Structures are given as structure tokens and as C-alpha cells.
Structure 1
Amino acid sequence: MRKSILVLPLLALAACTAGPDYRGPASAGAVSLPERFARATDIAGAETPAVAEWWKAMGDQVLDDLEEQALSGNADIGVAQARIRQARAMLRAERANTAPSVNAQALYAHATLPGIDLSSSDSSSDGGNSGNQSLNFYNLAFDASWEVDLWGGNRRGTEAARAQVDAAEADLADVQVALAAETAQAYVSLRDRQQRLVLGNQKFERQRQMLSLTEQRRAAGTATALDVEQQREQLERTKAGLLPLTADRDSYLNALAVLVGKAPGALDDLLAAPGAIPLPPATVPVPDPAAMVRRRPDIRAAERRYAAATAKIGVAEAQRFPTLSFMGLIGIGGTHPDDVLDSGNLAAIALPQLSWNFLDFGRNAARVEQARGKQDEAAAQYRASVLQALQDCEDSLTRYGSSRRAVESAKRSLASAQRTYALMQQRFTARTATRIALLDAESRQIAGAEALTQASAEMTARFIALQKAIGLGWK
């Protein structure tokens, strides 16, 4: 009965857990979420977007293959995966802290003891010096220790480590989101530069012909030197504009190779031929703000770090209270090797220990205050992540909607340039317009195609940014 009276308080203490319990992300401070995004007007579809592989909605198989390679071979993925392994190892270590530790050791000692007579034992004299005796000692020992988690400090440590694992996994998903968007952006930019280089070379050829004809007219006295210089200036401006496009094209080829985990130049053969710019679907599925907050990996990572910081307050507070530990030692041995097999030489010690660092001049209180400060910091970072995500989505929706309107305007401009060229062809056929005027109209038509290409690439880039803002692209 007396043992039960002593054990029951210990069990009750062991059920205690220091520090605040985690109450979910709402405890970090309320962030008012609207029912829908203010900028999601006619561009947003009613269906729920898929989390992974949003790029397949653009119907470009080359892009699909590049995304698959990037998500499996990029170095940043390997870094994030290594951090997950580290966090999981830390969790295992924290769990192990709640279990007893057992050590085993074997000892052999040889000692020379001057001035002590050990003749009663089987020891030999040291080189004939009767004043010095030698002693051999053999021992096998096992010791075990266990600290009772009276205040739940170890449990809070395990809780914090588990939250850190969740945060590391969310970080991996965030890397996937960023990597998918970066790969798609680089691919779209590459196709844009390739298309504009083709059109730019076509325009350059038309302008070269215009310069040649103007020089002929100058020789015939029907054009001035000013006309020639104006044509030459336009030709050189077009030529100069092709140079940065070429550099950009090569840069995006290098970027894509590195993104998929290969050396620059490895994708040149695959991507050398110009390809069409992938275009987004007519409507884009956009979740409500609450669903976006649940999906974005960076927000989930911030929430998990807030949970870990909350648990670490309990770890710090548990250090303010007494600790109860048990230690046991079993040893067997003697002066002969056979003594380690003789149960009569068995020695055992059991030692319970209660310790309390009650006078630490405020050190533990400072550690608790530091832990609470880190919790406040994590809560603020979580709120900032949510607000930044809301801004990202609203900005992306605005820019994407604007880019769609810009594409429509570029289409109308190109259509007008095409009609102008058709009318000029009629006049040229009727011999009421010169060939230079016809080439100029064709150059303007090509310039309209360039503008549409650039606007289309910008629209797709804004679509990609919107998918990233929503938090899509992870598995």
C-alpha cells in the first residue's frame, strides 16, 4: 500500500506536460481571408485546380518532359530531400531520449603498487623489487540510466521535431512549386526568343532589300541621300536588336539544361529548332483564398515552424523543475580472468537521483522568455506568409488579366497590318505603289507578328506566375 502511495504521485507528475498546447494556425493571430479573390473576374474558372502538373494544360509535350526531368534531377530537389532526412533523424533522436540508455564495458587493468604487500593474492613481484607488487584486474559491467519525463520536456522535444519534419517536407513541396514555374518560364522565354529571331531575320531581309532599292533610286536621281541613310539606320537598328535576342536564347538553353540537372549545352540539339509558344487555357481554375492558404507549401512550412516553436516553450519550461533519474550498475570481475564468470563476484548498485537547479539566477527564465520570443517570431512570419500569398495571387490575377487584353490588342494590330499589306499588294499589282512601299508594309506586318509573339509569351509567363502564386506544382 505504501509503494502505491509513492508511485501514484510519480505517475501523476509524469502525465504533466510543460508549456502551452498548440492550438493550430489560428493561434498565431487572425488573418481575415476574403471569400474570393477581388481580381479573379472573367479569367477564373469555377473548377478546383489540380495541385500537380498544371503545365499539362498548355499541351506542349517538350515542356512536359522538361518538367519531369527537372522535378527528378534538379540539385535543389536533392538539397531539400537531404534536409528532410536530417529532420527525420532528429525526430528519431528525440524519441530515443525518452527511453533508457544501456552501456556495456569490459575492463582489464594492470597496476604496479609500490610499498604494498599483496602476497596474500596471486601477484608476482616486479623484477625482484620486494617493495613493488603488481595487480591484474578483470571486469565486465553494465549500466543503465533513465530520466523520468516528469514535466513532458522530452515529449515537447519530440513534438517540435515532428513539426520540423513536416516543415522540411513542405519546404520540398515549395522547391517543387518554384522549380516547376522556373522551368516553364525558361522554356517560354526560349520559344519567345526563337520566334522573334525568325521574325527579326525576316524583317531584316525586307529592310535590306529596301535599302538596296533606295540606293538604286539614289543612283537614278529619284531618291536623296537622306532617304538612303534613313533606310540604313533602320536596317542597323533591326540588326542590333537581333544580338540580345541571340544571347537570351543561348542563356535560356543553358538555364534549362541546369534546371533538369545537366551541363549547359546538353539540351541544344533537343531545343535548337524554334517551337511554338505554349499558351494557357481559356479559363484558369482559381481556388478561394482559404483553399490557397491550405495549399501553398511555404505557408504550411511557416505554420509547422510555428508549431515547433510552440513546443519548444515546453522544452524550456521543463528545465525549470526538478528532474528524477534512475541509474543502475551491474559488474562482475576480479584479479583472474575466470572471476568474470563467477556469480559470486557479482556487484549491483541502484541509484535514484532527484536534482533541482532552483537557484540559477534567472537562466531558465531567460531560456523560457527566449523560446516565447521565437514563438512570437514564428507567428509573425506565418501571418506575413499568408498576407504575402494573398498579395501574390491578387497581383498575379491582375497581371494575367492585363496580359490577356494585351494579346487581344496585339491580334487586332496584326490583323490591321495584314490588311494594310494586302491593300498595298493590290496597289503594287496595279502599279500605283512602289516595291519599296510594298516591302515596308510587309515589314510592318512582321513587326506586328513580333509584337503578338512577345505579348503571347508575356501572357503565358503571367499564367505561370499565377500557378506559382496559387501554390501549384508539388506532389
Structure 2
Amino acid sequence: MNFTRTLFPLSMLLLSGCVVGPDYQKPETALPAKFSESKSASADNVTLNPWWESFRDKRLNDLVHQGMGENLTVLQALERIEAAEANVIVAGAGSLPSLGASAQGTAEGKDSGSSHSQTRSISAGLSASWVLDFFGQYRRQKEAANASLDAAYDDVNVARLAYFSDLVSSYINARYYQEALALSRKNLQSRRESLKLTNEIKEAGAASSLDVLQTEGLVNQTLADLPALETGFHQAANHIATLLGVPASTITSSLIKGSSQPMPRYATRTGIPADLIRNRPDIRAAERRLQAATASIGVAEADLYPSIELGGSIGATRNFRPTANITSWSFGPTLSLPIFNGGALKAQVKIARSEAEQQYLTWKSTVLNAVEEVENAQTALIRDGQTVAALRKVVNSYEQTLNLARESYRGGASTILDVLDAERNVATARLSLASAIRQLARDYVSLNVAIGGGSAIGTPAVVATK
């Protein structure tokens, strides 16, 4: 009776099972209360914010939506979800009973001179086994598989953010090269007018051949700059086509009409550094992998303990000659106890713990890098905005200077060098402004990507088997 009283609670404990290994706890790391150049106010969920619409460019919006379901990198990440979902099923199947069936038919014959004999038989059987998960090995495996599945979903969002960044930046580049081409052709027209003016003054005897040659040199220099800008435009258009998975000619023809350079129309609320843990898909993916690695510690520790497998089988054989039927069955537990393995099992636990610690450090590094990316992008966006405003004034001043230099040259109060210098200044300032506008737009892209903006747009719903 005392034996029964002791055995029964112990049996209930074993059947209910215990789970070895550490339980997962969300990681923490010290973060500043706010970004250095923004207010300490948490932002709303930005993962569904289509920030590229701030450019108010219908063609850009169409390209983004066109490529959302066509980008090969995103499609590869989506395909990895299929493998991760299957892995959840595989991990859960280990704790369930398994059943198998078999069948066999044989025929045998003997000839020895005058005698002949033949035997035929058919046999069939069923076998079943069930590993009792006393120490939670399969539960930890399923926990790790579910965490890896969550990471696979977050990896899709990482790929989608990279796609948004690459596509919008390439579009910004394409429009910049078109603007630079337009400005260079405008400069070319201006320099040809200066060349015409110089020839007229030379015919009047007030200019030399040197003046004409210097003016011609600027015209030819401008002509030499055009091919490189055209190449830049075509390369940007070709890359957009690659991102969308369409022929390059279709993108080039649709962009060739030209448009103004994209300029962001709205400010970006960066929130606080703690928001990044919620909004950045790479941080969430790193945390999910940390959980998977933590669960793997329990899987390794479970191998240190005994395991019990319940197994049984039943079989039947029918012999047609001689006539006989045979039925057999078996049932019983199998105990496996690790005794000596050269320390390999304990080493596997150490490996699992080390890998979990590495994943924690990866998560922490991802968080800190994300904070740095936001800080850098925000700083650049503010300063480059100031640069654009200043360059607009520079362009206006140089254009007025050029008009005055031409009038002075016509009146004989200045030389052609004054006109040429003024034209160089105008050309340089205009191209510098276009380049600064491009950089400002790219800063806006970088900042929104850094805070995880738009990463969850079009994301499939998570259907993990918990």
C-alpha cells in the first residue's frame, strides 16, 4: 500500500511531464529616452505607413505597388515561410504516436527428382510506437520551430523594406539624371548663345580668336558631359526593371517623358528608440531567433535524461500449403538511459547555450545599429534640407550675375572671361542643387526605412501552429 501511494503521484508527475531548459524571457538593453534631434514622444505604428506617397508622385506609387508582388527577393522570403511552417509540423510530430503497416507475400518451391513441393504465404502486420515526452524535448522543439516561423514572417518584411528602399532610391536616381540632363542642355543652350555673342563681337573687332576658342571649349565640355548622364539614367531605369521583373524597355519608355525630382512633402515622426523594437522587422526576427535558440537548450538538456518508448505490434500469416494461420503480437516499453557518451551530450548543452548567447548579442547589436541608422538619417535629412535651401539662393544669385555679365560684355565694360566664369558658376550651382535634392530625398527614404516604415504592408497573416 505504501508503495502504491508513492508510485501513483510519481506516475502522475511523469505523465504530466516537465520541461527542462530555461523558459524564454524577452531580452532587454539600455536605450536613450529619445533621439538626439527629435522630441521624446512615442510614434504610432509606422509599419503600415506608405511613406513613399509623401513624394506625391503617381508614377512612383504605381511602380511600388506593381513590384510588391513581383520582387524576387520578397518572393524567396515568402517561400521560406512554407519551409518554416512544414518544420513546425515535423517538430510536433515527434510527440505523437506513430502507426505503420506492412504486408508481404511469398511463394517457395522445391524439386528433388520425383517429388515436388510448393509453399505460399501472405503476412500482414501493424506496428505502433509512442515516445513519452517526460522532459519536454518535443515541446521545446515545437517552441523553437514556431519561433523560427515567426522569424520567417519577419524576414519577409525585412526583404520588403529592402525592396522599398532600393526601388524608391533608384527612381530618385533616375529622376535626378533626367534633371541633370535637362540642366546640362539648358547650360549648353546658354553657352551657345555666349559663343554666338562672342562671334558677333569679334566680327565687330572687339573680341579676339582666343575669346571664341574659350567659349567653344565650354560648349564642347558640356556636350562631353551629356553621355555620362544619359548612361546614369538608363542604368537606374534598368535596375528598376530588374526589381520589378519586367523588360527594361518598358520602364525606360515610361520614364523617358521625364518628371520633376521627388521631394518629400511631409515630415517623418521618428518616435523614440524603444519604438524600433516594435517596428523594425530585423529586430523582431533577431528576437525570434533568440527564442528558438533558447528552446534548443531544452532540447539538448532532454537528451541527458532517460527516455521511454511504448511500442507494440500485431501480425498475421496465412500459409496456403500446408494450411496454417499464425497470429502474433507484442507490446511493452523500451527504456533508453544515457550512461557513457564521452561527454558529448553535455557538450551539446554547452553549444546550445553558447548559440543562445550569440543570438542575444546579435539581437542587441541589431537594436543598437538601428538606433544609429535613425540618428544618422535624421541628422542628414535636417542638414541636407538646409543645404537645398541655401543652394536655391546660390542659383538665383548666379543667374542674376550671368545676366549682368552678358550686358556688361555687350557694352564693352567686361571681358568674355567674366561671362564664362558666370556661366560656370550657374552650371555648377544648378547641378549642385539637383544633387542636393536627390540626397535629401534619399535621406527621407533612409529615415523611413530605418524606423521600419511600411514594412508590414502586404504581409501575410501569421498562421503558426502553436
User: Scaled by the length of structure 2, what TM-score is found?
Assistant: 0.89
Give the alignment partner of residue 51 of structure 1, picking from 43, 47, 61.
Answer: 47
- In structure 1, what residue type is equivalent to 2:448? Q
- In structure 2, what residue type is equivalent to 1:60? D
Measure how far apart 1:143 and its partner are.
0.5
Aligned to 1:247: 231
Query: In 1, Cα distance between the equivalents of 2:455 and 2:114?
Result: 81
- In structure 1, what residue type is equivalent to 2:361? A
Measure how far apart 1:213 and its partner are.
3.9
Deviation sequence 1:402-443 (CA, Å, 0-9, x none): 110110111111221343356567768989789997787567
Match of 2:121, SS state, is strand
Query: In 2, Cα distance between the equivalents of 1:16 and 1:226?
Result: 95
Q: Are 2:46 and 2:452, in contact at CA under 8 Å, matched by a contact in 1?
A: no
Q: Indicate yes or no: 2:91 matched with 1:94.
A: yes
- In structure 2, what residue type is equivalent to 1:449? R
Aligned to 1:37: 35
Query: In 2, Cα distance between the equivalents of 1:196 and 1:49?
Result: 37
- In structure 1, what residue type is equivalent to 2:93? A
Measure how far apart 1:276 and its partner are.
0.9
Measure how far apart 1:3 and its partner are.
7.6
In 2 relative to 1, CA 459–127 (structure 1 residues): closer, same or farther, beyond 3 Å?
same
In 2 relative to 1, CA 3–349 (structure 1 residues): closer, same or farther, beyond 3 Å?
farther
Percent identity at matched positions?
29
Aligned to 1:208: 192
Query: In 1, Cα distance between the equivalents of 2:358 and 2:230?
Result: 47
More displaced 10-residue stretch of structure 1: 441-450 or 7-16: 441-450
Q: Superposed, which structure 2 residues align to 1:322-337 within 5 Å?
A: 322-336=306-320
Query: In 1, Cα distance between the equivalents of 2:338 and 2:32?
Result: 51
Give the alignment partner of residue 261 of structure 1, picking from 221, 239, 245.
Answer: 245
Query: In 1, Cα distance between the equivalents of 2:376 and 2:238?
Result: 30
Gaps of 5+ in 1: 113-124
Match of 1:329, SS state, is strand
Deviation sequence 1:147-195 (CA, Å, 0-9, x none): 0011111000000000000111111001111111111100011001001
Give the alignment partner of residue 155 of structure 1, picking from 139, 153, 156.
Answer: 139
Query: In 2, Cα distance between the equivalents of 1:274 and 1:59?
Result: 15
Q: Are 1:38 and 1:394, in contact at CA under 8 Å, matched by a contact in 2?
A: yes
In 2 relative to 1, CA 103–204 (structure 1 residues): closer, same or farther, beyond 3 Å?
same
In 2 relative to 1, CA 272–45 (structure 1 residues): closer, same or farther, beyond 3 Å?
farther
- In structure 1, what residue type is equivalent to 2:47? V
Measure how far apart 1:347 and its partner are.
2.4
In 2 relative to 1, CA 409–45 (structure 1 residues): closer, same or farther, beyond 3 Å?
farther
Aligned to 1:320: 304
Q: Indicate yes or no: 2:15 matched with 1:18.
A: no
- Give the root-mean-square deviation of aligned CA atoms: 2.9
Q: Are 1:206 and 1:440, in contact at CA under 8 Å, matched by a contact in 2?
A: no
Give the alignment partner of residue 257 of structure 2, picking from 247, 267, 273.
Answer: 273
Query: In 1, Cα distance between the equivalents of 2:321 and 2:154?
Result: 58
Measure how far apart 1:446 and its partner are.
5.1
Measure how far apart 1:63 and its partner are.
0.8
Query: In 2, Cα distance between the equivalents of 1:256 and 1:221?
Result: 55
Query: In 1, Cα distance between the equivalents of 2:455 and 2:428?
Result: 39
Aligned to 2:353: 372
Measure how far apart 1:318 and its partner are.
0.5
Deviation sequence 1:192-220 (CA, Å, 0-9, x none): 10011011011112213323443554566
Deviation sequence 1:94-117 (CA, Å, 0-9, x none): 1111111100111112245xxxxx
Q: Are 2:41 and 2:271, in contact at CA under 8 Å, matched by a contact in 1?
A: no
More displaced 10-residue stretch of structure 1: 443-452 or 429-438: 429-438
Q: Indicate yes or no: 2:170 matched with 1:186.
A: yes
Match of 1:144, SS state, is strand
Query: In 1, Cα distance between the equivalents of 2:194 and 2:188?
Result: 10
Measure how far apart 1:6 and its partner are.
4.6
More displaced 10-residue stretch of structure 1: 79-88 or 345-354: 345-354
Gaps of 5+ in 2: 457-466
Query: In 2, Cα distance between the equivalents of 1:430 and 1:217?
Result: 10
Measure how far apart 1:235 and its partner are.
2.5
- In structure 2, what residue type is equivalent to 1:407? V
Give the number of equivalent residue pairs. 453
User: Scaled by the length of structure 1, what TM-score is found?
Assistant: 0.87
Aligned to 1:419: 400
Aligned to 1:65: 62
Give the alignment partner of residue 138 of structure 1, picking from 113, 116, 122.
Answer: 122
